[in-house]
Amino acid sequence: MDNKTIDTLMQHRSIRRFAERGVDDNLLAEIVDCGLRASNTGNMQLYSVIATREEPLRTELCKLHFGQCSTAPLWLTVCTDVHRYHRYCAVNGCDQPYGNLLWFLSALVDASLCAQNICVAAEARGLGFCYLGTVMYNTRQIAELLQCPEGVVPVITMAMGYPAEEGRMSERLGRDAVLHSEVYHDPSDAELVATHRVRDDDPFNRRMVEENGTRNYCEIFTTKRYPRATNEAVSADLMQVLKEKGML
C-alpha cells in the first residue's frame, strides 16, 4: 500500500457537519466503483447502494436518522439485497435459495466491505462522512421511504459531503487489546484495565463521564447510549423486519 493510502486510513475521523457544496455525479460514481471492487461472497454482490441527494427525500431520510448530520448533501444507504439475485435466478430458471440467515450474514459482510471501501475512497478525495447506526432503529420506515422491495433491507448508512469541521481524532484500543498471537488470549482483569486505559483516561471521554454523571465511561454506554431494554426492543423489531422483508 502506498503511503497516501496508509495516511488516509490512519487520519480517519468522522465528520458530522458539512459544507453546502454537493458531491457531483463523477465523484459519486468513482467512490461507488471503489466500493464495488471490494471482495464479496461468491462475487454475487448481494447488496445495493441508494444515493439520496434530492429534496424532499434527503430531509425525510435525515428525520428517520433523528436529525443527525442534517447538513450532509449526500446520503448513502447500503442494503443487503437478495432481491436482485433472486430475479437473476428466476430469469435463468433456477431455484431462489438466498433468503435465510447464512445469506443475510454474507450479504451484511459484503455490504460492510463495500461501504468501507466507499468511505476510504471518499476520504482520499477530500470528502468526510459519518456512519449512522440509526438505520437499525428505523429500518422499516427507511426501507419504505427508499422504496426497497422484498429482499432488500437497509443496513448501513453514511452521511457524506465536504467537511465543515475538522473532526476529532478519537482514541482506539491498541494492538495489545485486539491482536492475539496464534490463539485467543483472554486477558486478566489487570490486563483488561491496562489496555482500556487509553479509553478511560482520554480527556474527551472523561468530560463525557462528568456530563453524563456516570461512574465511569463504560456506564455511559450500558445505561444511556445503548441500554439493555432498548437493545432488546430494537433487536426484536429488526428480526421482525428481516422476516417481513423475506430476508430470513
Binding stretches for ligand FMN (CB under 6 A): 12-14, 16, 68, 130-134, 170
Of 131 and 217, nearer to ligand FMN (C-beta) is 131
Of 122 and 130, nearer to ligand FMN (C-beta) is 130
Of 132 and 146, nearer to ligand FMN (C-beta) is 132
CB of 125 to ligand FMN, least distance (A): 18
CB of 177 to ligand FMN, least distance (A): 15
Of 82 and 130, nearer to ligand FMN (C-beta) is 130
CB of 122 to ligand FMN, least distance (A): 13
Distances (CA, A) of 39 to 43, 45, 52, 80, 111: 7, 9, 25, 15, 10
Residues in the chain: 248
Per DSSP (E only), the strands in 9-127 are 47-52, 74-81
CB of 45 to ligand FMN, least distance (A): 20
CB atoms under 10 Å from CB of 142, counted, come to: 25
Task: Tell me the C-alpha distance between 233 and 235, whole Å.
Answer: 5
Residue 63 CB-density burial (10 A; 0-12 exposed, 13-18 middle, 19+ buried):
middle
Residue number with the shortest CB distance to ligand FMN?
Answer: 133
